[in-house]
């Protein structure tokens, strides 16, 4: 990190117009939160008291109103665009002391939460369905081909977001929106390291937890082929790891050494064929493997530390290595700009 960069700053645009210095003076705090497979959120807290004119500010919806587009920039002198979202709620609070209003909003993934639908998709892949749903909400799409064509799939009284996340979890894909583009792609633990973080240099606090993998070292998936009147099955085990994240030993291996071999069965899963079963088994195996080590930490404001990226954490002995960032929270107020984060890893 550059020790010369010490001054935190933010910039906010509403409907592409930067808010004035006068409004910025009323800002008490600003929080940006993101987590994989969730809509990113911002909360802007402003003082509503106008002591000079004896009136209220920001309550007439002329500057902040539902649906207004907000661009949020944060940084330590050098600003970075954190998110483009929309205001979804205005929350005034009146007290004997300070009266404030929270302006809250989410990125456009939140739109997929509106309504519940009952419909059928025929002869489509999950990636095709994701593209279609994006188009319905006037979003562009960037998807990675899921390859398996599904004869029929039901969206049964679910919002589009609930349905898409259900499909994503099944094959360990991630769903996110950046501005007006929806992404539907595999989890990115195997991506190149985006940032190196050293404890006591870049990170102020870090708590980690290594835990046993109770689903065992093997996942067996089984279903039924109604056309052929036969079982469909597949398994995933050691060797099916998407990545080892520089770990000396995987959590499943450590668990087997300590407590013996075990496995888990996934039954009554709607499966198309053996390839589909293999995809589900590998996804399920890796989903529990990547939770072998979880942790959370805190640092001075670091806008480049973002969810969905890999980081190399050093200075913590055997626990040093590559981690996947699953969420971050960036908080700015009159005192400081701080970043907190959560991470996960396949072993140590």
pLDDT average, residue stretch 56-65:
92
**317 against 78, higher pLDDT:** 317
Residue with tokens 């013996």: 260
8 Å CB contact between 121 and 155: yes
pLDDT average, residue stretch 208-220:
97
Q: How confident is the model at residue 6 (pLDDT cuts 50, 70, 90)?
A: low
Q: What is the pLDDT of residues 97-145, one digit of tens each?
A: 789 999 999 999 999 999 999 999 999 999 999 999 999 999 999 999 9
CA distance 147 to 145: 5
**Residues in a beta bridge with 80:** 74
Q: How confident is the model at residue 1 (pLDDT cuts 50, 70, 90)?
A: very low
Per-residue model confidence (pLDDT) at position 113: 98
Q: Which of 167, 210, 191, 132 is nearest to 37 (CA)?
A: 167
Per-residue model confidence (pLDDT) at position 3: 44
DSSP conformation class of 316: S
Q: What is the pLDDT of residues 179-213, one digit of tens each?
A: 999 999 999 999 999 999 999 999 999 999 999 99
pLDDT at 2 over 90: no
Q: What is the mean pLDDT of the chain?
A: 95
User: Which of the residue ranges 85-94, 225-234, 288-297 would you say has the lowest mean pLDDT?
Assistant: 225-234
DSSP 140-198: EEEE----PEEEEEEEEEE-HHHHHHHHHHHHTEEEEEETTEEEEEE--TTSPEEEEEE
DSSP 13-63: EETTEEPPHHHHHTEEEEEEEEETTS--EEEEEEE-EETTTTEESS-SSSS
DSSP conformation class of 300: E
Per-residue model confidence (pLDDT) at position 95: 86
Q: How confident is the model at residue 225 (pLDDT cuts 50, 70, 90)?
A: confident
- Domains of the chain and any CATH numbers: 8-107 (2.30.300.10), 114-186 (3.55.50.10), 193-209+293-345 (2.40.30.150), 212-289 (no CATH)
**What pTM did the predictor assign?**
0.93
CA atoms within 13 A on the CB side of 4: 1
Q: How far is CA 330 from the centre of its chain?
A: 14
Strand order in the sheet with 173-178: 140-143, 181-186, 173-178
Structure tokens at 145: 């081909």
């Amino acid at each position: 990190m550059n020790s010369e960069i010490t001054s935190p700053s933010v910039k906010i645009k509403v409907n592409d117009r930067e808010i004035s210095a006068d409004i910025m003076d009323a800002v008490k705090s600003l929080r940006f939160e993101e987590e994989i497979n969730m809509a990113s959120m911002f909360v802007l807290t402003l003082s509503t008291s106008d002591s000079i004119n004896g009136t209220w500010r920001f309550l007439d919806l002329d500057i902040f109103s539902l649906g207004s587009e907000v661009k949020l920039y944060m940084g330590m002198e050098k600003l970075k665009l954190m998110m483009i979202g929309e205001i979804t709620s205005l929350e005034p609070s009146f007290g004997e002391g300070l009266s404030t209003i929270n302006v809250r909003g989410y990125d456009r993934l939140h739109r997929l939460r509106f309504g519940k639908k009952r419909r059928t998709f025929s002869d489509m892949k999950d990636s095709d369905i994701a593209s279609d749903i994006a188009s319905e909400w006037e979003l562009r799409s960037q998807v990675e081909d899921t390859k398996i064509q599904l004869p029929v799939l039901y969206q049964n009284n679910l919002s589009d977001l609930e349905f898409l996340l259900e499909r994503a979890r099944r094959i360990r894909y991630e769903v996110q929106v950046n501005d007006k583009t929806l992404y539907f792609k595999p989890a990115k633990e195997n991506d190149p390291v985006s940032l190196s973080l050293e404890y006591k240099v870049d990170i102020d606090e870090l708590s980690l937890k290594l835990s046993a993998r109770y689903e065992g070292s093997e996942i067996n998936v089984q279903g039924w082929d109604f056309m052929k009147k036969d079982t469909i099955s597949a398994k995933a085990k050691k060797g099916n790891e998407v990545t080892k994240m520089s770990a000396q030993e995987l959590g499943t291996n450590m668990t087997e050494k300590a407590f013996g071999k075990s496995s888990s069965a996934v039954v009554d899963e709607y499966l198309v064929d053996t390839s589909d079963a293999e995809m589900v088994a590998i996804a399920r195996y890796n989903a529990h493997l990547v939770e072998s080590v979880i942790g959370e930490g805190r640092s001075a404001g670091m806008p480049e530390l973002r969810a969905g990226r890999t980081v190399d954490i050093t200075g913590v002995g055997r626990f040093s290595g590559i981690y996947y960032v699953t969420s971050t929270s960036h908080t700015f107020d009159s005192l400081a700009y701080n970043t907190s984060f959560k991470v996960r890893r396949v072993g140590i």
